[in-house]
Chains A and B, each alone.
Chain A
Amino acid sequence: MVKDEKESANRPDNTAFTQQRLPAWQPMLSAGIIIPGFVLIGLAFIGIGVVLFISSRSIQVLEMDYTGVEQKSACFKCSDPTVKDCICSLEFSIDSLFKGPVFMYYGLSNYFQNYRRYGVSKDYNQLYGDLTYFKTPSDTCAPYVYDKNKPIVPCGSIANSMFNDTFRLYQSVGTNGTKKQVPFDGKGIAWWTDYNIKYRNPSVVPLMDAFNGTTKPIFWSKTAYELDPTDPNNNGFINEDFLVWMRRAALPDFRKLYRRITAGDYAEGLPAGNYSLEISYNYPVLSFGGRKKVVFSNVSWMGGRNEFLGIAYLVIGALCVFMSIVMLIVYAKFKFPDDE
């Protein structure tokens, strides 16, 4: 090859990129791909949907409202905000074995934990165990920074409004009405990372000393370091109930994990029988039109009961199959005669 053409400095580079000729894959969504694709997706979705639906259906849920709005309800007497230290109990029966492990949730509705000002009203550094913020909590905690000139620890609206109803579950055994307490397991109800990393108590022994010169949140009846008298590792900022509360709910109707029933006779679940739930009713919700409930539920691999996913998968799967049939008809009518 004789190159009689001189390469000029101005000549553009003859590369695939500069000439817009990079090798390219040019996918064409043709009916040949789409129709089988739709069928496959549809069938897969229907399959997943069926599995989801069945497993969601297999989850047992027991939900009880105990706000006490109606007069006949057991907790009506406690719903009056002037009544202090009120205890009411809810009777219920289970017909068949409530398979374990059983999870007990408390639920609140019309409660805006996702309110912005509420959400920012905490001091992360304090909750990480930084003692300097015990003395001077961050302004974000307003209006719960100081109480009678003493810094509030833990400060802020979220901590202040921590849910403080407590529950005890009894099973009626025998005919004489003796009650047997169902043991609750309060461990592992909060995120592992919250308990182990994100929230820290100050490394002061005993923990109580760290709280010198501070005061408890206004709404609280106990100080932070004596939230759980039974377990020293469940006090202060790493109290699991506290951690569960501090993880703000996404929606105004929410539930939060209270206890698990995993131990003793109830490891396999709650056997059929009569139960009574003793509630120490402290948390006021009627002032803002809220509701309180307890939920017993077991979980599957997909979490708690939620039929949305199963139904959605079934519907979409069915739609896909249906559309592929429609497309097939459309193509049979319009395309094939002309083809070839």
Chain B
Amino acid sequence: MLRRRLNRLLGGDERRVDNRTIYIGHRSCPASEVFIPPKFCDNRIVSSKYTVWNFLPKNLFEQFRRIANFYFLIIFLVQVIVDTPTSPVTSGLPLFFVITVTAIKQGYEDWLRHKADNEVNKYPVTVLEDGRRINKESEKIKVGDVVEVKEDETFPCDLILLQSSRDDGTCFVTTASLDGESNHKTHYMVPDTEKDLEALNATIECEQPQPDLYKFTGRMHIYKNNQEPAVSPLGPENLLLKGATLKNTQKICGVAVYTGMETKMALNYQGKSQKRSAVEKSINAFLLVYLCILVSKALVCTTLKYVWQSNPGHDEPWYNEKTQREKDTNLYLKMFTDFLSFMVLFNFIIPVSMYVTVEMQKFLGSFFITWDKDFFDPEIEEGALVNTSDLNEELGQVEYVFTDKTGTLTQNNMEFIECCIDGFQYKYRDVSTELDGFCVTDGPVSKLQEKAGREKEELFLRALCLCHTVQVKEATEQCQGQGDGLIDQVDGLGVDGEVHQLLQEQRGFIASSPDEIALVKGAMRYGFTYLGLESKTMKIMNRHSEIEMYELLHVLNFDPVRRRMSVIVRSRSGDTLLFCKGADSSIFPRVRQEEVERIRMHVERNATEGYRTLCVAFKRLSAEEYAQADEGLREARLAMQDREERLMAVYNQVETGMSLIGATAVEDRLQEEAAETMEALQGAGMKVWVLTGDKMETAKSTCYACRLFQKNTELLELTVRTLEDESKTREQRLHDLLLEYHKKAVQDALPIKAGVTRSWSMSNQDYGFIIDGATLTMVFNSSESNSSSYKSLLLQICQNCTAVLCCRMAPLQKAQIVKMVKNSKGSPITLSIGDGANDVSMILEAHVGIGIKGKEGRQAVRNSDYAIPKLKHLKKLLLAHGHLYYVRIAHLVQYFFYKNLCFILPQFLYQFFCGYSQQPLYDAAYLTMYNICFTSMPILAYSLLEQHICIEVLLDNATLYREIAKNAMLRWGPFLYWTLLGVFHGLLFFFGVRCLFSNPALQDNGQVFGNWSYGTIVFTVLVFTVTLKLALDTRHWTWINHFVIWGSLAFYVFFSFFWGGIIWPFLKQQRLYFVFANMLSSVSAWLVIILLILLSLLPEILLVVLRKPRGPHARQKKLAQSSVGGLQSPRSSARPLLMRTFSDESNTVI
């Protein structure tokens, strides 16, 4: 980094800054006169944070950067330096404990990282050096080394493939450990390299390391006998990434281009940004309040102390003379130290242990998600995954759910449904499938009334067979023979379901997108089977079992911006053909308009039925055209700068003037229980927004099928289509529509909704909002002055709609939407759920990101906070786990503040009776142990096990989720309640015992009790009250709760006996000696303890009971209401219709 910056400063070669030049095999090349071996970092991977030497200082530094730890350190230091009432041990010990435990944990984790690093760094590799093969440790690889890798080995660094043992110059690689995609990817050798690597004299110029796994640009200069160097382009297909594994290839040789920490894997390793939960923010706010309480307490005491001391009899009575040093100290210094002393005395109000307990609760609590067998999916044999435990409680606070459509709402399990060739519909149907009533119009047997010409049919099917990037699994090749003779003529096109079922099973396809497999399989049904790609030749078997060969010239890859892909092939007959498939919106403008109309109808009908549609077009390229395209592509691929843009331009140029040959419809089935899940989420008061890259019609029908939109939902549409208006410009139209919708959804609805926040009542008109990417861009990019107002208008409309559908979204736009909602008024908690790489941006943007372990690789899962196998699991995750976690942690936090307030308040009050002398009320042991031992375990058990409402009820009544919405249990109201409760208890404890001590002769032998007895009685009442208060709040008593609650009370009694039963040799005073036992021998002490405990808890019990007549009652009523409402709701009346149109259809196996 520094070096690079220095280079830049010194004005080094400009190219060296942006690119790096690599000399293969460290051989100087003729072109450059002086060979300066450039310095790159070595191949050592360092993921560990510490070394043996810097562990202690660095770890301590990092721990004390946390504000809480720093605060306790300061308190500790004050205790060490200043003469304070409590010994430094009281706060030092817990701090030491916390720091040690954290350090051990982090140290252990780092040790594991060291081990893993060493394993990687010491891995033996073979390097070719001057024709010899040298075994080296992986970390010694330098940039420019030629490395040999054998089958099933992982690449030690990022390599450019120079030589492969396979004849066609390819190798296969899986990147399962990088992005989770387990399919084999093909990588290509750099063309024109010589077989003899020793003689190869070449340099590679490539960009500086960057983390994008799928981007790489570079070029290779090959010098041959002083000729002009040959240049070949390098792209991601030439780059073998560190961490990937070589498959199906005996060995390869490659030159190292990026090593060590500059490899793409290492660059991707960087940790994600920390998300903080709303609860954590509440904790910090409460902490601030308590800090204020602490400081004001200390200030009050300090002030009163000096006021009190102004009375001469009080300042220095004869029995309590000051020491010489005290007399000499400056008054202001004394005041300051007094202030600090009070701070130390009261510092227990902010407990170290709360952080530990909260962390433990989160860490341990998250196991319940991983352990939940309801989240286990037998198909993928995996359960839920928790990537961060910091956000458990946020799952109970979600207000907006942003969901992806494909793979999330739908299964991403594509099934070829039908196609349309030249305007004629071809519907494939399995003979064994039962027919549904609604299909009758299509005829009982798939007898097509009309058919397109045979030529067109075959062209279309060839297009399906050629225009893709599917690979054939090699193991199935031997089965080909069997399938060959069995193809028969059915369905006008020649399909035999059974045979093809067989074939399908035998033939395995691998592709990055399931659509492509569905299409290839669809073509297979109609008799065109794709046999695979062999050395740039695509083989397909046509209906007559003849093998057709096409030379693959170029693949114009799919990208989400173009929304289409093309291949250029050359047939045997020498024709150069371009086949293109893509979304209708991206194809239609590029084909002849007269062809569009016939097919558009089919496409739109299919889209409304919820199918994914693709249009297929083709173009015959003349020799000149091809030459031009070929040159353009090669040039663009060689470009060092703006390669993407240039390629795009060439693509756009090539893909024009095509002729449309047909369209396909692929069904993507709804996820299991998708509708139920969405219904539950909406019932829980969450607003569900669907963000998809798909077509509006497809997405809309999915929304209907998921019951996000109901029959009576009024749809407000803001799309390119509604913006089309001849009389006005788009901007004007946008303005008008926005205002109109705003009036409808926001202004008119307001009077009804006033007072009822988050209401979702049946009587109100439900609105659904639809917007597409292009319009969204217009809203965001509209002129400066309007932009913000449009945005807020849009936001207000959306917030008043029950469901929002955003279609045609680019990944970045998804994140933009999430961000817009996240930053809106009231900063609602957002959740994003998705399964693909295009959802990563919104998963990272939302408060909670959920990945689905779907079929589109593992990128979403890797970047998510939680990952679940199926959408249906979201319901339990939010409604049950989220709800419980929130209640647990909210109670934990409130309880912690409460118990420390009533712990310290008596100590504060005692100052008024001891001349503000910082005399502690409780013994040091009690001060230290209170939070660590006596009261910590019950609340931890509570916060792990509590189920105030059992899981089944939570799942059945989604409305319960609304009760904790908007951080309900951690708002200032409940906080005030808990604080007042703490104050009430503290006052009661102190003054109750104070009244008792108006006559300190409390034993039947007339002996009197001293100050430590006083403190011990207060402390006993305190421990019992706070523990029993928790017992009162516990609604779910497992044996663990019983054990820890009664156990810690027993432990307290036992400890007190023990602590007071022995003369401790290491203590300077034995002030608690037999105090506890003596206390128990006094009947009055017993009576006052019982009295105060009961008196503290009675109001609580009373409250519970007085709330009761409303409690179960209201709930019953509510339930009754909702069930009645549910019956009356138009939703259920709409259901038959919806079932007819969508649900059944989507469940039909065709």
On A, residues with C-beta under 8 Å from B are 5, 8, 10-14, 18-20, 22-27, 29-31, 34, 41, 48, 52, 101, 103, 105, 110-120, 122, 124-125, 128, 138, 140, 142-144, 157, 160-161, 188-191, 193, 197-198, 244, 247-257, 260, 284, 287-289, 297, 299-306, 308-309, 312-313, 316, 319-320, 323, 327, 330-331, 334-335, 338
Contacts and interface: CB of A to CB of B under 8 A. Distances in A.
B848 to A, nearest CB: 21
B828 interface: no
Interface stretch (B59-67, B174-182, B601-609, B1007-1015): B1007-1015
Interface of B: 85, 311, 313-314, 317-324, 367-368, 370-373, 375-376, 378, 381-383, 913-915, 917-920, 945, 947, 950-951, 992, 994-1015, 1035-1041, 1063, 1067-1070, 1073-1074, 1078, 1082-1084, 1087-1088, 1091, 1094-1095, 1098, 1101-1102, 1104-1106, 1108-1109, 1113
Which 3 residue pairs spanning A and B have beta carbons closest together? A304-B1001, A161-B319, A288-B313
Contact of B376 (A11, A23, A249, A320): A11
Most buried by A among B313, B317, B1073: B317
A311 to B, nearest CB: 9
Contacts of B1003: 299, 303
B1001 A299 contact: yes
A99 to B, nearest CB: 13
B1107 to A, nearest CB: 10
A23 B947 CA distance: 12
B682 to A, nearest CB: 26
Most buried by B among A190, A301, A303, A320: A303
Contacts of B1041: 24
A325 to B, nearest CB: 13
Contacts of A338: 1113
B66 to A, nearest CB: 31
A308 B1011 contact: no
Contact of B1002 (A122, A128, A197, A304): A304
B1006 A251 contact: no
B704 to A, nearest CB: 35
A327 B320 contact: no
B1098 A251 contact: no
A2 B446 CA distance: 41
Contacts of A249: 1000, 1008, 1010-1011
Given A26-B950, A52-B1087, 11 more contacts: A20-B372, A26-B1036, A112-B915, A114-B919, A124-B1067, A143-B324, A193-B1073, A247-B1010, A251-B1014, A257-B1001, A306-B998
A289 B999 contact: no
A316 B1105 CA distance: 18
A253 B913 CA distance: 9
Contacts of A25: 1037
A73 B375 CA distance: 87
B1037 A26 contact: yes
Contacts of A253: 998
15 contacts: A8-B381, A12-B383, A26-B950, A113-B1011, A115-B915, A124-B1067, A191-B1007, A191-B1078, A247-B1010, A251-B913, A288-B318, A289-B311, A303-B1001, A303-B1004, A313-B1087
Contact of B373 (A12, A119, A193, A301): A12
Most buried by B among A29, A48, A113, A138: A29
B1087 A48 contact: yes
Contacts of A198: 1063, 1070, 1073-1074
Given A10-B383, A304-B1001, A308-B995, A248 B1011 contact: yes
B1001 A297 contact: yes
B1061 to A, nearest CB: 10
Contacts of B1082: 303
A114 B1013 CA distance: 12
B313 A116 contact: no
B154 to A, nearest CB: 23
A10 to B, nearest CB: 5
B373 A116 contact: no
Contact of A112 (B317, B323, B383, B951): B317
Contacts of B1035: 26-27
A224 to B, nearest CB: 18
Nearest to B1061: A193
B449 to A, nearest CB: 46
Contacts of B1078: 191, 193
A249 B1008 CA distance: 8
A139 to B, nearest CB: 9
A284 B318 contact: yes
Contact of A10 (B382, B919, B1014, B1105): B382
Contacts of A309: 996, 1084, 1087-1088, 1091
Contacts of A289: 311, 313
B1063 A250 contact: no
A302 B368 CA distance: 52
A301 B915 contact: no
Given A112-B914, A316-B1095, A22 B1039 contact: yes
Given A10-B381, A249-B1011, A302 B1083 contact: yes
B908 to A, nearest CB: 14
Nearest to B1002: A303
Nearest to A320: B1098
A323 B321 CA distance: 54
A260 B920 CA distance: 33
B1091 A313 contact: yes
A14 B372 CA distance: 8
Contacts of B1087: 48, 52, 302, 309, 313
A299 B1004 contact: yes
A316 B1068 contact: no
Nearest to B951: A20
A297 B1036 CA distance: 52
Contacts of B1073: 193, 197-198
Given A20-B368, A304-B1001, A116 B1091 contact: no
Contacts of B1037: 24-27
Given A157-B320, A190-B1007, A304-B1001, A250 B1014 contact: yes
Contact of A257 (B997, B1007, B1067): B1007
A288 B317 CA distance: 6
A252 B1106 contact: no
B214 to A, nearest CB: 29
Given A11-B383, A12-B373, A20-B951, A287 B318 contact: yes
A270 B314 CA distance: 39
B1108 A31 contact: yes
Nearest to B381: A8
B945 A22 contact: yes
Most buried by A among B995, B1007, B1038: B1007
Nearest to B1034: A27
Nearest to B85: A116
Given A27-B1035, A115-B917, A306 B1004 contact: no
Nearest to A141: B323
B1038 A22 contact: yes
A143 B321 contact: yes
A299 B1006 CA distance: 6
A161 B320 contact: yes
Given A161-B320, A193-B1073, A250 B1013 contact: yes
B1038 A23 contact: yes
A253 B1000 CA distance: 10
A189 B1036 contact: no
Given A303-B1084, A306-B1084, A330 B1106 contact: yes
B383 to A, nearest CB: 5
B375 to A, nearest CB: 8
Given A24-B1037, A27-B1035, A31-B1105, A248 B313 contact: no
Contact of A251 (B319, B994, B1113): B994
A12 B371 contact: yes
Contacts of B383: 10-12
